[in-house]
Amino acid sequence: MTDFNEIKETLVNLDEQRLIELVNEALEKDIPPGDILNKGLIAGMDIVGEKMENEDMFIPEVLMAAKAMSKGVEILKPLLSDKETQTRGSVIIGTVKGDLHDIGKNLVAMMMESAGLTVHNLGVDIAPEEFVRMIKEKNAGILCLSALLTTTMPMMKQTIDAVVESGLRDQVKIMVGGAPVTQAFADDIGADAFASDAGSAAKSAKALVA
């Protein structure tokens, strides 16, 4: 449907004002709000994520796109049914204990939210037992761990070990990322996925819960 394409393009072009107009116009045409959200806004952010991954778009542009999208979501939210606001999955994300870096982790959280996942961002310096507690409390399907320091990378393994010991390992897919983290390291510590940037992180999170 052309409306969705225009919404997607407008989002990718970072035109917040036009995007709001388009969302309102679509509502006037009685297009279901859930479709506007999923086939328009979220689908548009998927393109943004891909462009980020391919270095066609950069962090400031991604931030602008996310801001524009959230304005659109604000309009739609009151109109969505409970079923429609049910998201694609629940994510726990945090920086591991001993590490206080949060910029990359917050970008990942934002991209996952924009991809339609429910994200619980626990913050920085999070102990393994706190991750475990939150997986239980939020009944999460995905756990995302971030570390920016070579000295805190071993804490990722300790956190995964704690999840295994808690008996929750089968319930969650575990993703890891951060500047020093590699696919080999992810394999080594028993993670399910590694992502090198926020765009690909959101994409692989969706794939993991699909």
Partner 1 sequence: MFQVIGERINTSRKKVQAAVADRNAAYIEEDVKKQQAAGADFIDVNAGARIGHEKEDMKWLLDTIGPIATVPLCLDSPDPAILEMAYGMVDKPPMINSISLEKDRFDTMMPFLKGKECKIIALCMDDSGMPASADDIVARTVELVTRLESIGMKQDAVYIDPLVQPISTDSVKGTMVLDAVRQIKNQYPDVHITGGLSNISYGLPERKIINRTFVTLMMDAGMDSAIIDPLDAKIMAVIRTADMLLGNDNFCMSYLKGVRSGMIKS
Residues found near partner 1 in the complex (CB under 8 A): 55, 58-60, 63, 98, 100-103, 107, 124-125, 150-151, 153-154, 180
Q: Work out how close the CB of 110 gets to partner 1 at its nearest, in angstroms, rounded to a whole number.
A: 10
Q: Work out how close the CB of 99 gets to partner 1 at its nearest, in angstroms, rounded to a whole number.
A: 10
Q: Work out how close the CB of 71 gets to partner 1 at its nearest, in angstroms, rounded to a whole number.
A: 19
Given a contact cutoff of 8 angstroms between Cβ atoms, the answer to whether 102 and 95 are in contact is yes
Q: Work out how close the CB of 66 gets to partner 1 at its nearest, in angstroms, rounded to a whole number.
A: 12
Q: Which of residues 58 and 81 has its CB atom nearest to partner 1 in the complex?
A: 58
Q: Which of residues 26 and 69 has its CB atom nearest to partner 1 in the complex?
A: 69
What DSSP string describes the chain?
A: -HHHHHHHHHHHTT-HHHHHHHHHHHHHTT--HHHIIIIIIIHHHHHHHHHHHTTSS-HHHHHHHHHHHHHHHHHHGGGS-HHHH--S-EEEEEEETT----HHHHHHHHHHHHTT-EEEEEEEEE-HHHHHHHHHHHT-SEEEEE--STTTHHHHHHHHHHHHHTT-TTT-EEEEESTT--HHHHHHTT-SEE-SSHHHHHHHHHHHH-
Distance CA 138, CA 196 (A): 26
Q: Which of residues 135 and 176 has its CB atom nearest to partner 1 in the complex?
A: 176
Q: Which of residues 60 and 78 has its CB atom nearest to partner 1 in the complex?
A: 60
Q: Work out how close the CB of 106 gets to partner 1 at its nearest, in angstroms, rounded to a whole number.
A: 8
Q: Which of residues 88 and 203 has its CB atom nearest to partner 1 in the complex?
A: 203
Q: Which of residues 103 and 210 has its CB atom nearest to partner 1 in the complex?
A: 103
Q: Work out how close the CB of 54 gets to partner 1 at its nearest, in angstroms, rounded to a whole number.
A: 12
